[in-house]
Amino acid sequence: MQFIAYIVVLLGLASARKLPSYIQVCRRDDSTVGDCVLKNLEVIRPKLAQGIPEMSIPSLNPLEIPAATLDSGGSFKADFKNIRVYGGDKFVVKKFDLTVKDKFHFDLDLYLNDLRIICDYKIDGNILVLRLNGHGLMTANMTDIVVHVSTDGKMYDKNGKQHVSFTNSQVDNLVIKKARFQLDNIFGDNEQLNVQTNQVLNDSSEELIKELTPVITSVTRDIVFGIAEKTLQRYTFDELFPQ
């Protein structure tokens, strides 16, 4: 089954600003820039749960996404609304390689111990052995997640100043070790079928993750790079990485 993902992320207008004073500016030196950015990440981490509006970084606990759709183009369609993702601020950086001088590029391995998604769902179609048609509240608990994120950057000119935007952005090698789903009211008032269906979802959670990993990957890419791009747009290359 091939899934297509649609996602809606709220995008505000980003106007160029100075970096906040708690950020230590990182020089355009590939031998130090990676460590410098990681140090800044730890400085801003306590603020990530609430978000940092002055840097166009939204709240990461929860991260709120208005809507997303998974569509297999026939046999299955799921709409999700009012999506709240909890625990995104607790990511651990396992590996980070950054170059900015001649070529903007980074490679990032992330680990998340615990991620929880709560949203309104509407599902219609067949998945695994199930025929689903219902709507209600969905909870998904995921643990032991690893993911690889990488991108190149390209320069563009805005108001006579150089800015960086991402190109060849990739999210891959996503592994979700364990997941538990709860879909309320999947069969309306039929409580017995609701319980049975959630039991099947639980018992086949590994297959379900396997089935959904490509689409979760593309949704993750849109979210991660949507946020990062917005932050990046605010600053000129010289402000971010002075000579």
Ligand X SMILES: *[C@@H]1O[C@H](CO)[C@@H](O)[C@H](O)[C@H]1NC(C)=O
Binding of residue 202 to ligand X (CB under 6 A) = yes
- Structure tokens, 29: 């030196």
Among 75, 162, 168, 199, binds ligand X (CB under 6 A): 199
Q: Of 23 and 118, which has the nearer Cβ to ligand X? A: 118
Q: Does 217 bind ligand X (CB under 6 A)?
A: no
Number of residues that bind ligand X (CB under 6 A): 9
Q: Taking the complex as a whole, how short is the minimal distance between the CB of residue 72 and ligand X, in angstroms? A: 23
Q: Which is nearer to ligand X, 47 or 84 (CB)?
A: 84
Closer residue to ligand X in complex, CB, 72/141: 141
Minimal distance, residue 139 CB to ligand X, in Å: 5
CA 79/CA 23 separation, integer angstroms: 39
CA 47, distance to chain mean position in Å, is: 18
Based on the shown chain and the rule CB under 6 A, indicate whether residue 169 belongs to the binding site for ligand X.
no
What's the alpha-carbon Rg for the chain, to the nearest Å? Answer: 20
**Helix boundaries (H) for 79-204:** 191-203
Question: Which region, judged by CB under 6 A, interacts with ligand X, from 45-53, 155-163, 177-185, 226-234?
Answer: 177-185
* Residues within window 137-156 making contact with ligand X, judged by CB under 6 A: 139, 141
CA distance linking residue 47 with residue 45, whole number of Å: 5
Tokens 């002075």: give the residue: 242
How near is the Cβ of 113 to ligand X at its closest, in Å? 12
Please, which residue, 72 or 182, has the CB nearer to ligand X? 182
Site for ligand X in 39-98 (CB under 6 A): none
One-letter amino acid for residue 191 of the chain: E
CB-nearer residue toward ligand X: 40 or 204:
204
Of 94-102, 167-175, 198-206, 230-238, the segment contacting ligand X by CB under 6 A is 198-206
Least distance to ligand X from the beta carbon of 99, Å? 40
Residue 180, interface with ligand X (CB under 6 A)?
yes
- Using DSSP's 3-state secondary structure scheme, residue 112 falls into strand
Integer Cα distance of 99 and 63 in angstroms? 28
Q: Report the C-alpha gap between 88 and 18 in whole angstroms.
A: 26
CA 10 to chain centroid: 13
Q: How far apart are CB 138 and ligand X at their closest, in Å?
A: 9
Instruction: List 161's β-bridge partners, or say none.
Output: 158
Beta strand 76-86 pairing with 92-99: unpaired
What CA–CA distances, in Å, run from 82 to 43, 65, 118, 182, 237? Answer: 30, 6, 8, 16, 35
- Cβ at position 211, least distance to ligand X in Å: 16
Q: Does 113 bind ligand X (CB under 6 A)?
A: no
Q: What is the C-alpha separation between 184 and 120, in angstroms, rounded?
A: 9
Q: In the complex, which residues of this chain contact ligand X (CB under 6 A)?
A: 116, 139, 141, 180-182, 199, 202-203
